[in-house]
Amino acid sequence: MAWKKRGVADGEAVQYTTIKARLYPDEAQAELFENTFGCCRYIWNRMLADQQRFYLETDQHFIPTPAKYKKEAPFLKEVDNQALIQEHNKLSQAFRVFFKNPESFGRPKFKKKKTDRDSFTACSHEFESGPTIYITKNGLRLTKAGIVRAKFPRRPRNGWKLKRVTVEKTKTGKFYACILYEYAVKAPEPVVPTPETTLGLKYSMARFYAADDGSAADAPHWLRQSQEKLAKLQRRLSRMEPGSRNYREAVQKYRLLHEHIANQRRDFIHKESSRIANGWNAVCMRGDSMQEVSKKKVLPGNALDSGFGMFRECLRYKLERQGKPLILVDRFTPTTRICSACGELRGCGLHRRAVWVCAKCGAKHQREANAAKNIKAQGLAQYFNRQELRESA
């Protein structure tokens, strides 16, 4: 969740939260943002190219600092120096992650203007005159850009300290600022789950998830609902000349529709995860890999479009802030084939039916609800076994 830090009293923990604000820059500020995006991309590629050349010549890893390139590229002095320093930090972090686990994380690659994300990060520093970055009533004060008009979904609370800001531009041309705050809170007391206050969830392609009590989310299939509109736009684009005005307008409509679908999915995930985190003391789920699930041909549609992995991550940190556990059961546990009443393990094939009857005890099961019950039982047993091991140690 968070770690102990100097200046934090005993029994308190440091937490971080982000407020995402919509920015409305004027023409000069928007031009400065565009130049900063380009400078960050330029400095990343130059540092990476020099790192590769230095490694080939000396067989040693070294990343030069952005100050090396300012003489030959004077335009770098026109943007915020903090944005360039953060690109150096990001590249160093990318190499540290790569060296630590090269099989899972690839080597850092060069950035392209057409495909890479337009963003830059700047840290806030305290001086006698005040902080370099701060929010006002209707705006956000940034270095070089000044006060940029902004719309905030919520305001920081008293005691929150602004650490850094990431300005990004979406493909639809909208500017956003992700403002990171640090604050100290009392460490929540661990909540001991019970069968009555624990919820078991099973991933469902058709219904998003199924709970052990028989309920389900029944989330709308946003992408499937907009499939006709997307296909119509794609047909129009295929008949247009790339680069023309009509082509650019159609691409903008296509991007806006995809952005609307993503916002619908994100809104549902945050609301549903908050409802579950506030209403239950623990949640048991299976640690399925959504990429592996999406490869199965027996399931219709694409599992990655549902956003279930994002839902699981939101549920994890929202439970963790309240001292509640998210218990993940091994993904290879045969929860669908086990009878939740007697524990009988069924053979392959019968468990794929929507409703099946146990041959041993005669219990009638709904397939997904039965799997959720087994996930809940397995998760609670796993949780209490770990608690016993900790107490004995």
Confidence class of residue 198 from pLDDT cuts 50, 70 and 90?
very high
> Of 185, 165, 183, 161, which Cα lies nearest the Cα of 175?
165
**Exposure letters 172-206 (e unless 16+ CB within 10 A, then b):** eeebebebbbbbbeebeeeeebeeeebbbbbbbbe
Are 142 and 103 within one domain?
A: yes
Are 281 and 156 within one domain?
A: no
Residue 17 lies in a domain: yes
Number of domains in the chain: 2
pLDDT for the residue numbered 12: 77
pLDDT for the residue numbered 1: 39
Are 107 and 40 within one domain?
A: yes
Residue 228 lies in a domain: no
Range of the domain at 55: 12-186
8 Å CB contact between 251 and 238? no
8 Å CB contact between 371 and 202? yes
Confidence class of residue 3 from pLDDT cuts 50, 70 and 90?
very low
Mean pLDDT of 244-257: 94
Mean pLDDT of 232-241: 93
Amino acid at 314: C
Mean confidence (pLDDT) of the chain: 89
Higher-pLDDT residue of 130, 313 = 313
In angstroms, rounded to a whole number, what is the distance separating the alpha carbons of residues 241 and 247?
A: 6
Residue percentage of the chain with pLDDT more than 90: 67
Are 162 and 283 within one domain?
A: no
Residue 364 lies in a domain: yes
Give per-residue pLDDT as tens, 258-307.
Answer: 999 999 999 999 999 999 999 999 999 998 887 777 776 554 456 667 88
Give per-residue pLDDT as tens, 334-393.
Answer: 888 888 888 888 766 554 677 888 878 888 888 889 999 999 999 999 999 888 888 886
pTM for the structure as a whole = 0.85
pLDDT for the residue numbered 28: 96
Are 160 and 277 within one domain?
A: no
